[in-house]
Structure 1
Amino acid sequence: MISSGSMMARVLDAAPDARADLVRELWAPMTGMYRFLPDGVDMAAVHRQSFGFDWDDPSDRVREGLDALVAADAWKRIERALEDGIAALASADPGATIPDLTVLLVLGDPTDEHFLDEVQGLSGFGGISGYIAITVWPTPRVLDRFEAIAVHELHHNIRYSPGGVAWNPATVTVGEHVVSEGLADVFAAELYGDAGYTHFVADATRSDDDVLAKVASGLDVTGMHDFAAWVLGDATARRFGGEPVGLPTGAGYAAGARLVHAYLEAAGGTAARSVRTPAADIIRTALPRLGLSRTEGY
């Protein structure tokens, strides 16, 4: 667990012309996430793309947000949750690879309306083995969900570690992404109850059969540039230059959780035990139980 609180304070206290390099230093332990890119990336750009706070013009509100993370003991809570999550996954699937984890918690940008309102102060990424990055704005709901947020990303990390599911950018489907989000949410719920479900997904979206059917119609879609609309929804697709498909925010999470619940009702077990279960197995079992026809690849 990177001690990012003190490092972010250094950024905020530094002279303006020194801040960008300090942000790169903050993110430096995460550069291994981009080891597959021959020229690497500018980690300051990664910070911005991850909804990180604006270092060019840090406001008192950013400092207050950092104080809120410190007061909530965010780093220790996340670390303890990851330890509990690892124990649960290792017990449920002893053959799963548990990598050495590097975990970065970053304060988000409270002036970014999409980040604050649409995804309600949360952006997490745990899909590359050994690394978890979590960007938050400390709303009461986020503060209440730190543990669930952490183990959601942990489930992704174990799923895509060696011996687990291979994420091939050329062939991966929306179905894999949707199932992975459903598994991660259900796993978090197994540990933390209803707080486990990602909070930017509206209750109406979770139970909307039209949303489920629409997501199911796209399970065979490949091409990661299209995934934002199918999984996160139209608003996020527009934000990142994608094409909307007619879905609300978090539609893929809602559909994924329904698919996973239907699968577990039929097959038994838990989301922890299913951390390495192929998406095709889950989808083939779940769709008929949800009254949906199988799509081409499933």
Structure 2
Amino acid sequence: MTITVLDTGPAMREVLRAAPADRPHLLRAVLEPAAGMYRYFPGDVDLVAMHAMASGFPLDRDEQRCLEALDLLHEADAWGRIARALEDALAVQLAATPGLAVPDITVLVVLGDPGDEHFTGTALGMTANGSVPGHLFLNLWPYPENLARLEATAVHELNHNLRYGSGAVVWDPATVTVGEQVVSEGLADAFARQLHGDELGHTRIGVPHLRDDAVFAKVVSGLGVTGMENFTAWVHGDATATRYGATPVGLPTGAGYAVGNRLVDAYLAATGRSAAEALLVDSGKVVATALRAHER
């Protein structure tokens, strides 16, 4: 298998320096090598529209801010660091789970939208996705905290990719539970923390609620909820749910990440396993083990 981190920096710079009328066409060429991450979407996907929906850099404003942000990513060796972190993490994972089926992986790194208040504020300038086997997506604004976490963020998404790409854990959009996503976020953070430490390995949006027992109880009450359309509020929180037209449930941003970390940490402590060794563990076992420990 191979991990290919697409060299999107020069191409994004070309988009931002082009005449406005030419930018959509040029951006589509940047995104096309990663179009497979939308393969489960119905019908033809407009890659440029999806870029905008996902808080990607704008095509009609903030050109200079975005060019300066690209300079920061280049100076931080963002693409090289991500590539090296993924190779190192894969070696650790394969040592823990010999014989694991690993797909070829394409990594798309895209600059985010500095004018999107939800992205820069609520999401802290970072969104990412590793749930589609064979594809990792990182959309970021180069705040110092995000640059420091480049490796950990990439490794988090790799954990998702390997969990669902192996075929051992099946994600059925109609029947999958909130519990599966909450546990998967906890496992991915635990893996990032195993390799890069607690300070960098925790997903930032979940950190404020790691010790909030009310948030823990609320999320646990929804672990059996099924259907992906219901997940945004339970995992990402009400603000993100409202942003994308989902129904709020009374949770702060990052609630599912915080609770996922607590559940997974309790499971790992009870079993003595490392995060890498627990990659393919059934989420129901994690929850049951963690809640037993919580009740003691």
1:291 aligns with 2:275: no
Partner of 1:92: 96
Q: Contact between 1:234 and 1:247, CA under 8 Å: does it hold in 2?
A: yes
Unaligned runs of 5+ in 1: 293-298
Mapped to 1, the partners of 2:42 and 2:247 lie a distance apart of 29
1:295 paired residue number: none
Aligned equivalents of 2:92, 2:80: Cα separation in 1: 18
- Does residue 149 in structure 1 map to residue 153 in structure 2? yes
In the alignment, the residues of structure 1 paired with residue 14 and residue 256 of structure 2 have an alpha-carbon distance, to the nearest angstrom, of 38
Identity value in percent: 52
- TM-score (norm. length: structure 2): 0.96
Asked if the contact 1:96/1:164 (under 8 Å) is kept, the reply is: no
Distance 1:219 1:44, change over 3 A: same
Matched, 1:31 2:3: no
Question: Aligned-pair distance for 1:35?
Answer: 2.4
2:119 is aligned with 1:115: yes
Pairing 1:187-266 to 2, within 5 Å after superposition: 187-194=191-198, 195-203=200-208, 205-266=209-270
Q: Offset of 1:5 from its aligned partner?
A: 0.1
Is this contact kept in 1: 2:206–2:256, CA < 8 A? no
Code of the residue aligned with 2:290 in structure 1: it is A
Aligned counterparts of 2:127 and 2:53: Cα–Cα separation in 1: 10
* Match among 132, 136, 149 for residue 128 of structure 1: 132
**C-alpha deviation, 1:94, in angstroms:** 1.1
In the alignment, the residues of structure 1 paired with residue 255 and residue 201 of structure 2 have an alpha-carbon distance, to the nearest angstrom, of 16
Q: 1:104·1:132 contact (CA, 8 Å) conserved in 2?
A: yes
Report if the CA contact (8 A) 1:103-1:133 is conserved. yes
Would you say the 8 A contact 1:34–1:40 is kept in 2?
no
Q: For residue 267 of structure 1, report the CA deviation from its aligned partner.
A: 1.3
Equivalent position amino acid for 2:168 in 1: G
Name the structure 1 match of 2:82: 78
1:268 to partner: Cα distance: 1.5
Segments of structure 2 that go 5 or more residues without pairing to the other structure are none
Contact 1:97 1:164 in 2 (8 A): no
Distance 1:230 1:11 in 2: 36
Q: Does 1:14 align with 2:18?
A: yes
SS class of match (1:269): coil
Amino acid at match of 1:197: H
Q: Report the equivalent of 1:101.
A: 105
Normalised by the length of structure 1, the TM-score is: 0.95
Contact 1:23 1:47 in 2 (8 A): no
Aligned pairs, number = 291
Distance in 2 between the 1:289 and 1:183 partners?
17
8 Å Cα contact 1:153/1:184 also seen in 2: yes
Matched residue, 1:164: 168
Distance in structure 2 (CA, Å) of the matches to 1:286 and 1:238: 30
Q: Select between 212-221 and 163-172 the one with higher mean Cα deviation.
A: 163-172
The DSSP-based 3-state class of the residue aligned with 2:100 is coil
Shift of 1:2: 0.3
Shift of 1:38: 5.2
Q: SS of 1:89's equivalent? A: helix
Q: What is the deviation of 1:72?
A: 0.5
Confirm or deny that 1:41 pairs with 2:38: no
